[in-house]
């Protein structure tokens, strides 16, 4: 398995655990226990049951007839938008809350940008009766009001991050600070395949249920258990990691990650990490990172809050480095058009994040007999205002 994590927590040159000494006990406790817990029968029983009865899995693999006709190929949509809370993020928070319980933790912290991971975390804390504190940039609190209200309704406390640009990376810094101060009773639920080892691997394992189901569903529908292409948008990279996971060792499957090209990769307003990034360390792991000459993190930009992150998970940096996966930028304009197209042709309004993956159909030029799976990471309800405003201004 040359694309999964090694014993030392690395994917090739990337990964590791670059953390302040005061975090060692927390991270080591998790590192020393996570595989034992995840692989136990008792954990798997609880995890599978909740995924089925609470989240609503398996999610359908839907043959998108009209998109397929338009692009003269076979397009299947993996419907993560149909999960409880509306996106793939709940797969991970269910997994982590079960780990936290088994580690005897009673207090949960999380960071959130758009609020989707915050909502998924607040949801599982309510489910398990655990205290929940979500750090969120003050600017994000103002622009993501419905999700802030959801978290409050679920009983979580939303704490504003007031430093820096008051967005996701500042919220993450606050969460790390909290964890350092509360090492005994607190588990930090990270929302993507980022952070120090073992988080990227743990989150990828929880999201891997996506590709596990795609395999079974394709076998049933078309008689072979792999597609020619898997397309997924990449913020930190958790939905992509989950959609790629069980195909990593099958070279017949082309893996394609779509990043936020924003207003254009050379405009100074994007989050196209593989093109613009250099090796650096952010939030505890070595990966590709958008940074200035002297190593300052560059403020990322995307119309979709979920892709607005200056780095990518170390697994994706490695997939890029080894050319096992391709990564391409999709601009705001391309994504918004694809969101409209998917709505009008399939009756499915995708999250703007997800629309970046759909947009790549324009460029892919797949053959009529080929099979393209798009991971439909989330639904667009949260984005309706943004969509409507965008098209009204055109
Ligand atoms: C958060 C989010 C993303 C981006 O996160 P990844 O870790 O890259 O998957 C993508 N799509 C949706 C719907 C999201 O909510």
H-assigned helices in 129-208: 138-143, 145-153, 168-181, 199-207
Mean pLDDT of 99-124: 97
- Please measure the distance between the N-terminal and C-terminal CA atoms of the chain and give it in whole angstroms: 48
Q: Find the 21 Cα to ligand 1 centroid distance in Å.
A: 30
Q: Find the 235 Cα to ligand 1 centroid distance in Å.
A: 6
Is there a catalytic annotation at residue 377?
yes
Residue 394 confidence (pLDDT) above 90: no
- CATH 3.40.50.1100 domain locations along the chain: 20-50+89-203, 55-86+205-393
Which of 333, 336, 316 minimizes the C-alpha distance to 207? 316
Mean pLDDT in the chain? Answer: 96
- Can you tell me the distance from the alpha carbon of 25 to that of 342, in angstroms, rounded to the nearest whole number? 47
The CATH number of 20-50+89-203 is which of 3.40.50.1100, 3.40.640.10, 3.40.50.1820, 1.25.40.10?
Answer: 3.40.50.1100
Q: What is the largest CA-CA distance in the chain?
A: 57
Residue 31 confidence (pLDDT) above 90: yes
Nearest CA to ligand 1 atom 2: 306
Predicted confidence (pLDDT) per residue in 179-237, tens digit: 999 999 999 999 999 999 999 999 999 999 999 999 999 999 999 999 999 999 999 99
Mean pLDDT of 93-110: 98
pLDDT above 90 as % of the chain: 91
Tokens of 348: 């499915």
Which of 263, 218, 255 minimizes the C-alpha distance to 233? 255
Residue with tokens 């500042």: 170
- Cβ of residue 377 lying under 6 Å from some atom of ligand 1: yes
- Can you tell me the distance from the alpha carbon of 308 to that of 306, in angstroms, rounded to the nearest whole number? 6
Predicted confidence (pLDDT) per residue in 296-350, tens digit: 888 899 999 889 889 999 999 999 999 999 999 999 999 999 999 999 999 999 9
The order of strands in the sheet holding 371-375 is 61-63, 74-78, 371-375, 229-233, 254-262, 325-331
Is there a catalytic annotation at residue 89?
yes
Mutate to test the pocket of ligand 1, among 191, 235, 304 (most ligand atoms within 8 A of CB): 235
- Can you tell me the distance from the alpha carbon of 302 to that of 141, in angstroms, rounded to the nearest whole number? 17
Which residues lie closer than 8 Å to 277 by C-beta, 6 or more apart? 288, 289, 290, 291, 310, 311, 312
Residue with tokens 């996106």: 87
Cβ atoms of residues 274 and 312 within 8 Å: yes
Mean pLDDT of 8-17: 98
Residue 34 confidence (pLDDT) above 80: yes
Atom of ligand 1 nearest to the CA of 113: 1
Q: Which CATH architecture has domain 55-86+205-393?
A: 3-Layer(aba) Sandwich (3.40)
pTM of the model: 0.98
Which is the catalytic residue, given 89, 105, 169, 382? 89
Q: Find the 289 Cα to ligand 1 centroid distance in Å.
A: 18
For residue 271, the SS3 value is strand
pLDDT band at 266 (very low <50, low <70, confident <90, very high): very high
Q: Find the 184 Cα to ligand 1 centroid distance in Å.
A: 30
Nearest CA to ligand 1 atom 3: 306
Tokens of 256: 């394609």
For residue 299, the model assigns a pLDDT of: 87
């Amino acid at each position: 398995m040359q694309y999964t994590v090694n014993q030392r927590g690395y994917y090739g040159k990337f990964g590791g655990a670059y953390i302040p000494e005061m975090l060692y006990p927390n991270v080591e406790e998790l590192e020393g226990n996570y595989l034992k817990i995840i692989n136990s029968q008792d954990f798997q029983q609880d995890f599978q049951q909740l995924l089925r009865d609470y989240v609503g899995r398996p999610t359908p693999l839907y043959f998108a007839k009209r998109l397929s006709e338009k692009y003269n190929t076979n397009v299947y949509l993996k419907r993560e938008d149909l999960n409880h809370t509306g996106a793939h993020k709940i797969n991970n928070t269910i997994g982590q809350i079960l780990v936290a319980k088994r580690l005897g933790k009673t207090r949960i912290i999380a960071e959130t940008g758009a609020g989707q991971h915050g909502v998924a975390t607040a949801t599982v804390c309510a489910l398990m009766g655990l205290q929940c504190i979500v750090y969120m940039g003050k600017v994000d609190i103002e622009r993501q009001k419905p999700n802030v209200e959801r978290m409050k309704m679920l009983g979580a406390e939303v704490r504003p991050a007031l430093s820096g640009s008051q967005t996701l990376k500042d919220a993450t810094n606050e969460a790390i600070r909290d964890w350092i101060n509360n090492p005994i009773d607190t588990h930090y639920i990270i929302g993507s395949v980022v952070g120090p080892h073992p988080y990227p691997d743990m989150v990828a394992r929880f999201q891997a249920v996506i590709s596990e189901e795609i395999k079974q569903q394709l076998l049933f529908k078309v008689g072979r258990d792999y597609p020619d292409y898997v397309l997924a948008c990449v913020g930190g990279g958790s939905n992509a990691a989950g959609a790629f996971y069980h195909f990593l060792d099958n070279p017949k499957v082309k893996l394609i990650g779509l990043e936020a090209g924003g207003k254009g990769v050379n405009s100074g307003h994007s989050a196209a990490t593989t093109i613009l990034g250099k090796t650096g360390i952010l939030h505890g792991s070595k990966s590709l990172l958008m940074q200035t000459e002297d190593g300052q993190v560059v403020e990322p930009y995307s119309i979709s809050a979920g892709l607005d992150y200056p780095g990518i998970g170390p697994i994706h940096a490695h997939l890029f480095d080894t050319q096992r996966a391709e990564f391409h930028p999709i601009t705001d304009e391309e994504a918004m058009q694809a969101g409209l197209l998917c709505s009008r042709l399939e009756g499915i309004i995708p999250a703007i994040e997800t629309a970046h993956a759909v947009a790549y159909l324009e460029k892919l030029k797949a053959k009529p007999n080929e099979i393209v799976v798009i991971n439909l990471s989330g639904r667009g309800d949260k984005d309706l205002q943004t969509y409507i405003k965008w098209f009204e201004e055109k």
